[in-house]
Structure 1
Amino acid sequence: MLSVVIETKNDEEALARTLASLVGGAVEGVVREVIVCDIGSTDQTQRVADHAGCHYVGQGGIAAGIRQARSEWILLLEPGARLVDGWTDEVSSHTGRHTIAARFSQAKAGRPPFLSRLFGRRRPLTEGLVISKRQAVSLAAKASDAEALAKGVATKRLDAEIWVAPLKR
């Protein structure tokens, strides 16, 4: 089973889209819990999290959310990212066989042009991150936020796709 942790700030609409893509995983028993780590929202983020049945963490950031996770594996996502149907089988298979962290593949239809991928700024959580709780706790102790935690983590590529969260303006 998997704990999903999402760090957010003023992302109520994007959070709702991400949570909707997790419903299938919850129904199948792969998603055990969703923890929303809010870092100072002034919109209705907490209300969205509460209505969706998420555990809401209002202080302590990503480190507090990871410490509270009850599963051995954690899926870190950006608000607005959407997992493509069929992701649960691949993640279940990976967590049952491996100890290394993993990232999703960007959905083919949503990939930016080649040169943008090559030279553009890449956010560390663009493709999500499936990571063991033990490794996440260790990294979170030194990281200021979810992106800092995900930066530089060695990963395997999953055969499952993610629609990347749009850039914040």
Structure 2
Amino acid sequence: MFSVVIPTRNSEEGLARTLSSLVAAAADGLVREVLVVDGGSTDGTAIVAEATGCSFLVAHGPIGERLARGAEAARRGEWLMFLRPGVMLEPGWHREIAALLERIDRAGGRGADRALVFRYARDELGAGARLDEVRANLLSGLTGLAHPSQGLALSRRHYRSLGGYRSLPALEDVDLLRRIGRLNRTTIRARAIRVGRFDDGSGLSTAGLRRGLSRLLAGLAVPPRLLVRLHGGGKGINGEAGDRGAGYADPVP
């Protein structure tokens, strides 16, 4: 049913964690294939992908380009799911989605044009992590957009009708979600849990405030090119240019 696409670069540990949360769904036949699209890793990312039976592709460029490459190469799933390495879907997530897809089938396919995202959560203990969860889920509700770690699932037909991911230097997730539309997005009960340190670039620095403001303005009719300019580039924790600009960075071991 699902082809899962994961963009990586030096994501060995995060990829292993994400793949571990897909095992039960693969055993039940919900996940048919996993495509790891790599931007030039120098660690053991390729070894993890190949040892677990994933298709390993190479696509240098921003995350949006890697996500688009994975979607183009997917063959076995009628639905596409996009996940970031270091995100673990909580146990039982596949049963909720399977039940939802059964309802869509019983309705004659009505609802197949909806996109699904998970609830955002963090694995760390403490008030800081809980406040970050509240902030991210509140922002998602206010803007109709989702944090990159919430994942995204939609039918292959719907993805193609929207034009898919674009090769933007930043905010490729925001660009696609805006085309999906607030009313066509459903947040399911299952959580996508970010494991390890995560930096979305929205701290109290000048650059962080710019990035946070750009994601807030994304819920309004602000042209994407202006949002990308405001959001800016930058480097993720792993030093990859562009990944932090997209609201994503690999976890630190």
TM-score, length-scaled by structure 2: 0.58
| Equivalent residue number for residue 36 of structure 1 | 36
Matched, 1:142 2:166: yes
| Equivalent residue number for residue 19 of structure 2 | 19
Give deviations 1:95-126, integer Å, cap 9, x for gaps: 3412200101134876531664457xx97422
Distance 2:188 2:170 in 1: 20
Does structure 2 conserve the Cα–Cα contact (< 8 Å) formed by 1:2 and 1:75?
yes
Q: CA RMSD in A?
A: 2.8
Q: Secondary structure at the match of 2:56?
A: strand
1:135–1:108: structure 2 CA closer, same or farther, 3 Å change rule? same
Distance 2:171 2:100 in 1: 22
AA at the equivalent of 1:63: A
Distance 1:34 1:85 in 2: 18
AA at the equivalent of 2:159: A
Distance 1:18 1:135 in 2: 25
Within 5 Å, give how 1:85-96 maps onto structure 2: 85-96=91-102
Within 5 Å, give how 1:119-134 maps onto structure 2: 124-134=147-157
Q: Secondary structure at the match of 1:53?
A: coil
Which of 102, 106, 113 is matched with 2:116 structurally? Answer: 102
| Equivalent residue number for residue 159 of structure 1 | 189
The share of aligned pairs that are identical, in percent, is 34
Name the one with the larger strand percent. 1
AA at the equivalent of 1:69: A
Matched, 1:68 2:82: no
Larger radius of gyration: 2
1:141–1:113: structure 2 CA closer, same or farther, 3 Å change rule? closer
Distance 2:93 2:44 in 1: 28
TM-score, length-scaled by structure 1: 0.84
Matched, 1:79 2:85: yes
Distance 1:84 1:73 in 2: 20
Bigger relative contact order, structure 1 or 2, given CA contacts below 8 A and separation 6+?
1
1:125–1:16: structure 2 CA closer, same or farther, 3 Å change rule? same
Give deviations 1:68-101, integer Å, cap 9, x for gaps: 1121111111100001111111112333412200
| Equivalent residue number for residue 4 of structure 1 | 4
Q: Which moved more, 1:153-162 or 1:41-50?
A: 153-162
Distance 2:146 2:115 in 1: 17
Distance 2:69 2:169 in 1: 11
List gaps (5 residues or longer) in structure 1. none
Give deviations 1:108-148, integer Å, cap 9, x for gaps: 876531664457xx974221111121333444353448961
AA at the equivalent of 1:112: R
AA at the equivalent of 1:17: R
Does structure 2 conserve the Cα–Cα contact (< 8 Å) formed by 1:62 and 1:145?
no
Q: What's the CA shift for 1:161?
A: 1.7
Distance 2:122 2:66 in 1: 32
Q: What's the CA shift for 1:64?
A: 1.6
